[in-house]
Amino acid sequence: MAHIVVFLISWFVHDIHISKSEVEYSQESKSLQISTHIYIDDLEEIIGIELGGQDLFVGTEKERDSADYYIYGYIQDHLQFEIDNQKAYYEFIGKELSEDLLAVWVYLEVYDVEEISSLNITYDILMGLYDDQKNILSLRMPEDEKSFYLFHSRKRDESIQF
């Protein structure tokens, strides 16, 4: 039964141009933890265009060994953070398939972040593919309500002061 449901859902060719990221600053581990949700078909297409990575078969048994390398590379180009006006570099922690099997959650982490007083974000993932691509970022800082930021082709950057 579950197989039938999954088949029926993945049968649908999605035309929803949304990516989303959840960003959380952990005071305990002094790190900025990032989870990014991207649709696989779009991600493979844009990696082919921008980085020349072909036939990655992300999320399947045939997935190429270099898939993570390309995904990490693409995200580094299109999801960027500056902490207190210094470029922040994140590590690739891993990825997993979303429940509907259409997308991946990619996990990234910036280490050794002692404190954050300002954050500049550039988030234009997949905007090279679709004019109507929208990216949603939620940010949770310690002791703060989660705040949300919307990115689209005419607004790719956000500056946040704390």
- Interface with other proteins, residue 9, by CB under 8 A: yes
CA 36 to chain centre: 3
User: x/- contact string, 134-153, with other proteins (CB under 8 A)?
Assistant: x-x-x------xxxxxx---
What tokens does 129 get? 């593919």
Rounded distance between C-alpha atoms, residue 19 and residue 29, angstroms: 26
Residue 123 CB neighbour total at 10 angstroms:
25
User: x/- contact string, 58-97, with other proteins (CB under 8 A)?
Assistant: ----------------------------------------
- For other proteins, the closer of residues 64 and 152 by Cβ is 152
- Interface with other proteins, residue 51, by CB under 8 A: no
Choose the stretch contacting other proteins; rule: CB under 8 A; options: 11-19, 44-52, 55-63, 76-84.
11-19
Place of tokens 């970022």: 137
Rounded distance between C-alpha atoms, residue 131 and residue 124, angstroms: 11
Place of tokens 């390309």: 70
- Interface with other proteins, residue 22, by CB under 8 A: yes
What's the closest the beta carbon of residue 137 comes to other proteins, in angstroms? 9
